[in-house]
Structure 1
Amino acid sequence: MRHVTVRMTAQGIDPEHAYRRISDFSRYPQLTTTVRAVEVQPPRPDGSVVSEWTVSFRNGLMRWTERDTFSPATLSIAFEQLSGDFETFQGSWACEAHPDGTTVTFRAAFDLGIPTLAEILDPVAESTLRTNIEKILQGLLGTVSPADFVDAVHG
């Protein structure tokens, strides 16, 4: 399984405001061309939601459905794919106070489920995921420079 971590600092944005922006999945397609569509279902009794995603991936599209668990008290979101193009896709978003604003951390673990092509496809998927998250954060928070990003972690 591959692991990706992207961390950036949103200048002049408080953690609660950053969390609200990141939590508003249905707005993602309006803010970045990377996300083509997100359909968010009404909250479940436990407060989690199911969301359906279509995201640009190289010269095509990736689609999946995930369960999202929001934790406003900790300014974090956990997600886990329920079905879709990945074999496994899970991770989290977290917002933490930083002297200059908010540090936003995205973590994900994924497996494309094609072991014979993993050495070729996984690095491409990892790079694309990292680039897509950078674009999403720039669209959501607008005050991001490439130097703020952390490269992927292999696992």
Structure 2
Amino acid sequence: MRHVAIEALLPGSDPLTVFERLKDFERYPAHTDAVREVTVRTEPDGTLLSEWSVNFRNGELRWSERDTVDTENLALRFEQVDGDFERFDGAWTVLGTGDDTTVRFAADFDLGMPSLERIIDPIAERTLRENISAILVGLLGDTLVFVTAMDADDLQTTGG
């Protein structure tokens, strides 16, 4: 099982505005070539079901997830219900800090390939970090400051 966490600060921003941008999953492909397509439908209880297609190495990963929008706490929780991962779940959280906004992404994943996990999982983790970083820069702009440690290669490939 792998864990990925990214935290970024957006100076002079409104947390609710940032949250509204984050929850618009269908716009993600416009902000990074890594995300091919996202379709979202709303269930009668308000839960969102989203279907994702993303580039991974020379192929594609596909999954569907149940997304819970908690506007009161500015949190988006997701849990894979079907797809290429054995497990993929986590959350986006948005916090107001004075005049700034902090965005956190945290997820746990398992590709379910025990014999290849030492090779594939680190690549998947790096790709996920790069993709999330690119989405954040695309959605929120280049004034975004990454708080979590990222190496120069990560920032270079995400445009940050």
TM-score by length of 2: 0.88
CA distance in structure 1 between the partners assigned to 2:34 and 2:65 by the alignment: 18
The number of residue pairs the alignment matches comes to: 149
In the aligned structure 2, how far is the partner of 1:45 from the partner of 1:98? 34
Whether 2:42 is the aligned partner of 1:23: answer no
TM-aligned CA distance change 1:60 to 1:149, over 3 Å: farther
Corresponding position of 1:2:
2
Classify the secondary structure of the residue corresponding to 1:16: helix
* Structure 1: segments with no counterpart, 5+ residues: none
Cα drift, residue 32 of structure 1:
2.0
How many Å apart are 1:58 and its aligned residue? 2.2
Give the equivalent residue in structure 2 for 1:127.
126
Maintained 8 Å contact 2:38/2:52: yes
Q: Distance in 2 between matches of 1:30 and 1:119?
A: 32
Where 1:67 maps in the other structure, the secondary structure is strand
Say which SS state the counterpart of residue 149 (structure 1) adopts: coil
Q: Percent identity?
A: 50
Say if 2:69 and 2:75, in contact at 8 Å, map to a contact too: yes
Q: Secondary structure at the residue paired with 1:116?
A: coil
CA offsets per residue over residues 19-57 of structure 1, 9 Å max, x none?
00000011111222221100111x212211100001122
Q: For the residues of structure 2 that align with 1:12 and 1:34, how far apart are their CA atoms?
A: 28
Maintained 8 Å contact 1:34/1:136: no
> Corresponding residue for 1:33?
33
* Cα distance in 1 for residues equivalent to 2:25 and 2:59: 21
Dislocated runs of 4+, deviation >6 Å: none
User: Cα–Cα, structure 1 residues 99 and 58, in superposed 2: closer, same or farther, change >3 Å?
Assistant: farther
TM-score by length of 1: 0.91
> 1:70 Cα deviation (Å)?
0.2
State whether structure 2 residue 114 is matched by structure 1 residue 115.
yes
> Residue 2 of structure 2 aligns to which amino acid in structure 1?
R
Q: CA deviation at 1:100?
A: 4.8
SS at match of 2:94: strand
Q: Which amino acid aligns with 2:85?
A: F
Amino acid in the other structure paired with 1:53? W
Q: Is the 8 A contact 1:81 1:89 kept in 2?
A: yes
- Whether the 8 Å CA contact 2:32–2:131 is kept in 1: the answer is no
Q: How does 1:134-153 map to 2 (within 5 A)?
A: 134-142=133-141, 143-145=143-145, 147-150=146-149
Conserved in 2, the CA contact under 8 Å of 1:6 and 1:130?
A: yes
Q: CA deviation at 1:81?
A: 0.4
> 1:62, CA displacement in angstroms?
1.1
C-alpha separation in 1, matches of 2:131 and 2:65: 17
